[in-house]
Structure 1
């Protein structure tokens, strides 16, 4: 049985020494008091930290699509004839596509998830989805696309990856909302 002090346990668990002492008194971790000091079993502490991490993962809030969150990530509201939508004009940032352009508008360099891709591929991805919006009336995300939702990218390294473009945009939006 390997043991550590309350100070070392607090550092490892990223909590205060008082919290570790409370865990010891309540039996949350296996510990014994020797010469007036707590000595904690490292296996028990590791188990407690694993349980805490699982609970924290479950407690994370799920992204909520709403007018406020969509505006917070850069959406623009449009209302007309009973329609109420929030358009994400710069939805490419939620996709992981980064481009720079010449004055003519042509792509001068591009990367996808931080890996370089051909400029023509980047232009193809950018054109594959034309609109992304949140419909306030029904609370759903929509995307207008060229018909080919699945897209294959060949990176400059020669590696290939296939993905669902619209699903990836939606996941990026939800991830950005969750980060708010």
Structure 2
């Protein structure tokens, strides 16, 4: 199974599945530049996770400086402004990429479907910055110059916000 399907089944992010695969927590192999997750290994990992902790009641995602820092944000304070920048916002997308050592994209998939490397680059370029402003308690974003055929800037933004909400609710 691919990483997107595995993430949905395990109720974690795609980045977590990739991390588990890299660290050997779940059995996975790379075929044509993409992770192929062993179903039985993933089921075993999910069962272990269920034994470790009782199910938590659903929690509402609350945007705050603390929650933004907990999901990997970087705090910035200057001239009376207090913001937390989410520099890893692309991790909240259903986008999988592999890169050459140069940093260029060698393979990409959106929601488990292979896409052109150029489209992946445009998806990553559709948002320039994402930050939480403690003054108004809201998440803000600045659109970039790219717009993909795969998803509009607005769709990418909504997906990032939904991913951040999910990550905060999982804390």
| Paired residues for 1:1-180 under 5 Å | 60-146=58-144, 151-153=148-150, 164-180=155-171
- How far residue 68 of structure 1 moved from its aligned partner, in angstroms, is 1.3
Structure 2 residue runs of 5 or longer lacking an equivalent are: 1-56
Greater percentage in strand: 1
Q: How many residues align?
A: 114
| Cα distance in 1, alignment partners of residues 91 and 111 from structure 2 | 10
Task: Report what 1:6 is aligned to.
Answer: none
Root-mean-square deviation (CA, aligned residues, Å) is 2.0
TM-score by length of 1: 0.58
- How far residue 145 of structure 1 moved from its aligned partner, in angstroms, is 0.4
- How far residue 106 of structure 1 moved from its aligned partner, in angstroms, is 1.2
Contact 1:135 1:142 in 2 (8 A): yes
| Cα distance in 2, alignment partners of residues 99 and 77 from structure 1 | 27
TM-score by length of 2: 0.60
- How far residue 104 of structure 1 moved from its aligned partner, in angstroms, is 2.2
Contact 2:119 2:149 in 1 (8 A): no
Structure 1 residue runs of 5 or longer lacking an equivalent are: 1-58, 154-160
Larger Rg over CA atoms: 1
- How far residue 114 of structure 1 moved from its aligned partner, in angstroms, is 2.5
More relative contact order in 1 or in 2 (CA 8 Å, sep 6+)? 2
| Cα distance in 2, alignment partners of residues 103 and 113 from structure 1 | 24
